[in-house]
Amino acid sequence: MQSVSSARFITPPLTQRKRELLEYLLNQFAASVNFCIQRCLEHGITSRASLHHIAYEEWKSKFDLATHWFHSTGQVATQTLRSWRKLCRQGRADPKRPPVYDARTMRLELWGEDNASGICRFHGKAIQIRIRRGEHLWLPLVVTEHHERMYLKDWREGRLNVGEITVSAFRDRANVFVPFKQEVEPKKIQGVCGIDINERSVDLTILKSNEQPKHITLDVSKLPAIRHSSQLKRKSIQKKLDAPPQRPVQKQRLKAKYWRRERNRTNQIIHIISKKIAEIADQERVAVAFEGIKGIRGSMRSKRKSENGKALRKDMRRRLNQWPFRKLQFYAEYKVARQGLPTVEVSSYRKSKLCPMCGQYNRPNGHAYGCKACGFEASRHLVASWNIAKDGARHVPADCWQMQPMAERLVAAEKPSVEPERIPLQFVTGF
Ligand SMILES: [Zn+2]
């Protein structure tokens, strides 16, 4: 099992010479990819090996670069063509218009002991790009404390490996994306944790065989609060700066500042919540199941009638649209995967409407849920996370379980405790 997370670095402002060299390499990279795409199409080639066979001599006469550039650009070309062919088959691209590589980025294969054909080396505080024999472009990197803590320490000690590095120009600097790969030991699971993400709480239900379901609620009401207060802040700035004299530059700057602040605070909280989820999953040794998020925003944007027949109010729709669901799920997924535990995504169909005890379909009334058939009562968030866990148990591959088959046994829980355990989260204060 491998977990990958990408770090973004920037370089300090580059010298004129380095800037020109970078510009030249970006142009040559794009030209070389397009050359490879052309040759692949002309000869009906799909693999990098046959491309090398057919076009290497011509490439060598056209491009004054180390041979390794042919490998890197050939790979980008064959991958671009592969995804274009797929789109053509699905009717989403025009087969008469082959792709053109016009991105201002280059993806460089790593050059190391095990891969002599790469063109880029990662040195921690700089990257080295091979241009020709004996000629290199060194790009220094601005290394923050975060980079050091999250990636570089583990990289130096050999726990993280670097993948293909992506470089692009950015004003007078360069953007450098470095994927760090980690081999993680897959752990055997004892149960499943279903996660229901709501506006003010994240609800978890942990199902293990021969154990009562365990419910945990994480209070995230801090997030809408941040959103609300920074909206007010922005509004008041708008009002003040709208009065004469006109100060458009100042206004932009201030609005950007508060937007940035809101984003940073939100991200920080999302990191704390997702870390907590991963911690709980690791403690309990459970797989984590999320509700399929595809379409969740779409269904809120439409003026769909809510359960009790009223359309979702406009401000309610806006609030829900702004909740960074996807981000939380993404962070949690990768943190859980880094623990060596599986994650699954289940359909959101009727998750808060089916009774987890007897399977009866009931309409929840507000936040409360009551089953007409068996009398089970709980909050609807708890019901949703429980159903997600039950469904998730069926989706986790059989070889992940410590003892199997447990999936079916988890589904029929007996006497439930319906009061969730509330875990307070420690957020950094000051906002
Ligand atoms: Zn029931």
Is position 263 within any domain?
A: no
The more confident residue out of 423 and 394 is 394
Q: What is the mean pLDDT of residues 253-275?
A: 88
Residue at token pair 């100042």: 250
Q: What is the mean pLDDT of residues 26-49?
A: 92
Q: Which pLDDT band holds residue 302 (cuts at 50, 70, 90)?
A: very low
Q: pLDDT tens, 6-35?
A: 899 999 999 999 999 999 999 999 999 999
Q: Give ion ligand 1 contacts, CB < 5 A.
A: 355, 357-358, 360, 371, 373-374, 376
Is the same domain home to 109 and 213?
no
Q: pLDDT tens, 142-169?
A: 999 989 998 999 999 988 999 899 999 9
Whether pTM > 0.85 for this model: the answer is no
Q: What is the mean pLDDT of residues 168-179?
A: 92
Q: What is the mean pLDDT of residues 262-279?
A: 90
User: Is the pLDDT confidence value at 5 over 50?
Assistant: yes
Is position 65 within any domain?
A: yes
Q: Which pLDDT band holds residue 231 (cuts at 50, 70, 90)?
A: confident
Is the same domain home to 179 and 201?
no
pLDDT of residue 312: 54
Is position 56 within any domain?
A: yes
How far is ligand 1, taken at its centre, from the CA of residue 372, in Å? 7
How far is ligand 1, taken at its centre, from the CA of residue 390, in Å? 15
Is the same domain home to 179 and 197?
no
Q: What is the mean pLDDT of residues 208-223?
A: 85
pLDDT of residue 15: 95
How far is ligand 1, taken at its centre, from the CA of residue 359, in Å? 6
Q: Which pLDDT band holds residue 286 (cuts at 50, 70, 90)?
A: very high
In the chain the first and final C-alpha atoms are separated, in Å, by 39
Is the same domain home to 12 and 149?
yes
pLDDT of residue 155: 93
How far is ligand 1, taken at its centre, from the CA of residue 264, in Å? 43
Is position 229 within any domain?
A: no
Is position 294 within any domain?
A: yes
How far is ligand 1, taken at its centre, from the CA of residue 354, in Å? 8
Is the same domain home to 123 and 151?
yes
pLDDT of residue 214: 87
User: Is the pLDDT confidence value at 253 over 90?
Assistant: no
Is the same domain home to 83 and 220?
no
Instruction: Report the phi/psi class of residue 364: left, alpha or beta, with left for phi > 0 and alpha for psi in -120 to 50.
Output: beta
How far is ligand 1, taken at its centre, from the CA of residue 212, in Å? 17
Which backbone phi and psi does 44 adopt, to 5 degrees? 60, 40
Report which residue type is found at 426.
Q
How far is ligand 1, taken at its centre, from the CA of residue 413, in Å? 12
How far is ligand 1, taken at its centre, from the CA of residue 408, in Å? 18
How far is ligand 1, taken at its centre, from the CA of residue 360, in Å? 5
pLDDT of residue 93: 86
User: Is the pLDDT confidence value at 278 over 60?
Assistant: yes
183, 199, 216 - which closes a domain: 183
Q: Which pLDDT band holds residue 373 (cuts at 50, 70, 90)?
A: confident
How far is ligand 1, taken at its centre, from the CA of residue 370, in Å? 8
How far is ligand 1, taken at its centre, from the CA of residue 350, in Å? 14
Q: pLDDT tens, 89-105?
A: 988 888 889 899 988 99
If 0-12 CB within 10 Å is exposed, 13-18 middle and 19+ buried, where does residue 179 land?
Answer: middle
pLDDT, averaged across the chain: 84
How far is ligand 1, taken at its centre, from the CA of residue 207, in Å? 18
pLDDT of residue 423: 67
Is the same domain home to 40 and 153?
yes
Is position 11 within any domain?
A: yes
Taking 3-state DSSP, the helix, strand and coil percentages for the chain, each rounded to the nearest 5, stand at: 45, 20, 35
How far is ligand 1, taken at its centre, from the CA of residue 305, in Å? 25
Range of the domain at 55: 2-183
Give the separation between CA 19 and CA 13, rounded to whole angstroms. 9
How far is ligand 1, taken at its centre, from the CA of residue 196, in Å? 20
- Kindly state the tokens that stand for 320: 């829900």
pLDDT of residue 143: 95
How many structural domains does the chain have? 2
